[in-house]
Structure 1
Amino acid sequence: MNAVIIAVLVMLVLSLLRVNVVFSLAIGALAGGLTGGLGLDKTVEVYTSGLGNSASVALSYALLGGFAVAVSKTGLPDAVVRLALKIVSKKGDTKRKALSKVLIVLIVLIISCFSQNLIPVHIAFIPLLIPPLLKVFNELQFDRRLIATVIAFGLITPYMFLPYGFGSIYHDIVRGNIEQNGLTISSSDIPVAMALPALGMLLGLLIAAFISYRKPRVYNDIEIAEQEEGQHYTTRGILFSLAAIIVALVVQIQLDSMIFGALAGIVIVYFSGAIKWNEADALLTGGMRMMAFIGFVMISAAGFASVVQETGHVETLVESAADVIGGNKSLGALAMLLVGLLITMGIGSSFSTIPIIATIFVPLCMQLGMSPLATIAIIGTAGALGDAGSPASDSTLGPTSGLNVDGQHNHIWETCVPTFLHYNIPLIIFGWLAAVIL
């Protein structure tokens, strides 16, 4: 059996059985390493050495959690919540309540999309915005699975389609790896090739919003520790919080470091006086704890990826798919997309998947006589596949970190499974159509 398939299946099955994702990744890596012939000692060595590959990412998320709590002390989230509560009908006006739900969803969707392109803060907005809005969600009886799919759409589709912010990084990775493997393309070709897959993502979002999760769902109103005392916002506090967000963004872009961006933002909040020195340590530690789960999953996923790559079975898996394909373009496109889904589900990062699959996929596409646009569509879609639905992806970990602060949202069954079904299936269909049509 192929070690990649075994490792991913073990990880996914354990996750679906509600085994902690960190443990599931570690056990999956062990199963993959042993299947791949690395032996116990070598598997443990490779897994351990690979853990450091995501240490900076884990620290970044921890500091972003601290920054989110720091900003919350200025009262900005409370101001947003009070504005949202004014929108929500208290008198049972069905039409107004429906309009309120649409408006809230659009706000979350727009902010999620902006986090990838216009203001590239990635998932840093989630612990800042979503926990304070849970009371609003409960008031409107939102199914939180809908909010998870909305956020996931905003975290994935913009970087796939638009060449700005994180999209610029993703498009550069796609173009660079395609050209390294012998096919010259233009950056302007990538949005054209990814238009159909992005349309598939939009279809999945509409299905989630208007069919799957349109019915009301009741949650208990549980006080969140960080919000029990309530926050009182002032004009000064709002101005300082906005200044902190802008400074954090500028520093992050200039230094290409989320770590120092978050630190810069925290320093600005300190100057606002919203945080007292004698309470700062406890507050920031609480914020870091809120995002710590994501950090641990990322670290474990890095070890998992190292073991999978060390086995050499990624190349074997791709080559086996090529043998099955023969000269059939349609079958070839589908096989490559499924292989990309499998790899990304295990690694949890579309950005890291592209270099792995491009080495084999690009020559294979050229051999099958596929156009450059079709090749881009396959590589770009195969890389993004699995970002939604993977237990180790920040596109699923991020929404869960915000929606589960009161313990009423399960990571696997209420974030991963809904996003997998609503986005990966349309991505495969529309990615395949793009490969066949273009």
Structure 2
Amino acid sequence: MDALANPVLISVLVLCLLALANVHVILALLVAALTAGLLAGLTPLETVDLLLSGLGDQGETALAYILLGILAVMVSRSGVTEKFVDVLLPWISGRRGATVFLLGGLACLSQNVVPVHIAFIPLLVPPLLTAFNRLRLDRRAVAAALTFGLKAPYLLVPLGFGLVFQGIVAQAMKDNGMELDSRLMPAAMAIPVACMFVGLLIAVFVTYRRPRDYAEVSTVFTERSAGADAPWNWRHTVVVAALAVSLVLQILTESMIIAALGGVLLMFLLRVEAWRDGERIVPEGVSMMGTIAFVMLLAAGYAKVLTETHSVDALVAHMGNWVGGSQFAAAVVMMAVGLVVTLGIGTSFGTVPVIAAIFVPLAASLGFSPLATAAMIGTAGALGDAGSPASDSTLGPTSGLNADGQHHHIWDTCVPTFLHYNIPLFIGGVTAGLLL
């Protein structure tokens, strides 16, 4: 199979072009999956069957998103988030840059210190949209900061999700014949993450520094609830306790489903909301997070088509024909392959084992050190996660910033994060591979 006719390359290109043309990401994913299947020699029916068989791979994540949406609606209706915003407003008033970096810092904590991943976004960001509007804050800068916080910490810091990701890289290298102490991973990823930070600074202080106006749109998150103006009472205390229970359950069980469900049930059982009010609360939560949950399901199906047809394996196998004996060419090709594969699969964690099987032998044959190889594998896995329409690193920020319907997933999240992070990561990965 000619490399340029590889189903992964063509279908990812179709996905990106359709998304950029404002075709909804669900339709774009379906068309891209059919394209990949047909190019791999499957019939349309076989492709759809394969796609459906992969939906369950992200079923837990999709259900967790729905439950997080319900939890976010209940918290918002209680007035607790508005009280928090009232306390926060004097600190962020007139400080657009500080606000952006505060949210980016919270996202960083969600990966390592308190590993809740994107769970905090639908709870915290929608109630802040009114404050963002007063600041005339460009939400693209916020999306860039949130995505940085969702990616950079697990690449660099060996705690929480970072410990998992770095362990996957070290184990994948070992499985393919190259040993590396996982404790050296932060040193391997320092240059790529530093390049990412430069991209963040450019996004906040150059590209999106100018004020941007948004309309005041009434939603369940922007309407001031009666509980926001009432004195602190037992309902507010129960809501805070429910959030604490959710956090503890997330840490203990590592399941966002159990964590979110625990918080929701506790608020119902202690009468923060009446059971009959679920008829309104659940649809509002589904409305907020349902589309994103379904995108994650389809993304898993699309990834299944790409992997089960061995299109990814074929693409990676072509690498040896492209690089000759040049370390520079090899580093560039590794980054390019990682970018394409992760754009399609939508997860850096799932990309690493796929690409390591070829990257490790190739790097060894060209004389790359284990540290340089780890840097290239880790960076190649992360490339494309920012900017991918199907990645939770982009879907998470959009879920919060688009609560009032004024933030476009592709043009306001995916394109900004693609430009400001994938280009620096590409440069950083090549540089680290040649210097380490």
Task: State whether TM-score is above 0.5.
Answer: yes
Residue 72 (structure 1) aligned with residue 72 (structure 2): no
Structure 1 distance, partners of 2:226, 2:269, is 18
Structure 1 distance, partners of 2:317, 2:22, is 33
Note the alpha carbon deviations across 1:337-361, whole angstroms, 9 max, x for none.
1100000011111111111111111
Structure 2 distance, partners of 1:423, 1:72, is 32
Q: How is 1:97-116 mapped onto 2 (pairs within 5 angstroms)? A: 97=94, 100-116=95-111
Note the alpha carbon deviations across 1:18-64, whole angstroms, 9 max, x for none.
11111111110100111111232321221121112111111111111
Displacement after TM superposition at 1:221 (Å): 1.1
Q: How is 1:132-171 mapped onto 2 (pairs within 5 angstroms)? A: 132-171=127-166
Q: In the alignment, which residue of structure 2 is the partner of 1:52?
A: 56
Q: In the alignment, which residue of structure 2 is the partner of 1:29?
A: 33
Residue 125 (structure 1) aligned with residue 120 (structure 2): yes
Note the alpha carbon deviations across 1:183-234, whole angstroms, 9 max, x for none.
1111111111001111011000000011001111111111113443524242
Percentage of matched positions with identical amino acids: 48
Do the aligned partners of 1:74 and 1:240 also contact (CA within 8 Å) in 2?
no
Structure 1 distance, partners of 2:142, 2:349, is 24
Q: In the alignment, which residue of structure 2 is the partner of 1:332?
A: 330
Which of 411, 414, 426 aligns to 1:413? It is: 411
Structure 2 distance, partners of 1:350, 1:195, is 17
Structure 2 distance, partners of 1:266, 1:305, is 32
Residue 250 (structure 1) aligned with residue 248 (structure 2): yes
Which of 303, 317, 320 aligns to 2:318? It is: 320
Q: In the alignment, which residue of structure 1 is the partner of 2:350?
A: 352
Q: In the alignment, which residue of structure 1 is the partner of 2:295?
A: 297
Which of 287, 309, 312 aligns to 1:311? It is: 309
Q: Which amino acid aligns with 1:144?
A: R
Q: How is 1:234-249 mapped onto 2 (pairs within 5 angstroms)? A: 234=232, 236-249=234-247
Note the alpha carbon deviations across 1:356-387, whole angstroms, 9 max, x for none.
11111111111111101001001100001111
Q: In the alignment, which residue of structure 2 is the partner of 1:186?
A: 181
- Specify whether residues 138 and 365 from structure 1 end up closer, same or farther in structure 2 by C-alpha distance, changes over 3 A only: same
Q: CA RMSD in A?
A: 1.5
Report the secondary structure of 1:65's partner residue: helix
Displacement after TM superposition at 1:75 (Å): 2.2
Unmatched runs of 5 consecutive residues or more in structure 2: none
Structure 2 distance, partners of 1:292, 1:360, is 37
Note the alpha carbon deviations across 1:72-99, whole angstroms, 9 max, x for none.
233221012212333455xxxxxxx2xx
Displacement after TM superposition at 1:102 (Å): 3.1
Q: In the alignment, which residue of structure 1 is the partner of 2:432?
A: 434
Q: In the alignment, which residue of structure 2 is the partner of 1:210?
A: 205
Q: Which amino acid aligns with 2:62?
A: A
Structure 1 distance, partners of 2:65, 2:367, is 43
Structure 1 distance, partners of 2:280, 2:309, is 43
Note the alpha carbon deviations across 1:222-277, whole angstroms, 9 max, x for none.
11134435242425444333322221122223223111111111122234432122
Q: In the alignment, which residue of structure 2 is the partner of 1:174?
A: 169
Report the secondary structure of 2:227's partner residue: coil
Q: Which amino acid aligns with 2:209?
A: R
Note the alpha carbon deviations across 1:374-403, whole angstroms, 9 max, x for none.
010011000011111000011111111111
Do the aligned partners of 1:76 and 1:237 also contact (CA within 8 Å) in 2?
no
Do the aligned partners of 1:329 and 1:436 also contact (CA within 8 Å) in 2?
yes
Displacement after TM superposition at 1:434 (Å): 0.6
Structure 1 distance, partners of 2:222, 2:131, is 14
Do the aligned partners of 2:389 and 2:409 also contact (CA within 8 Å) in 1?
yes
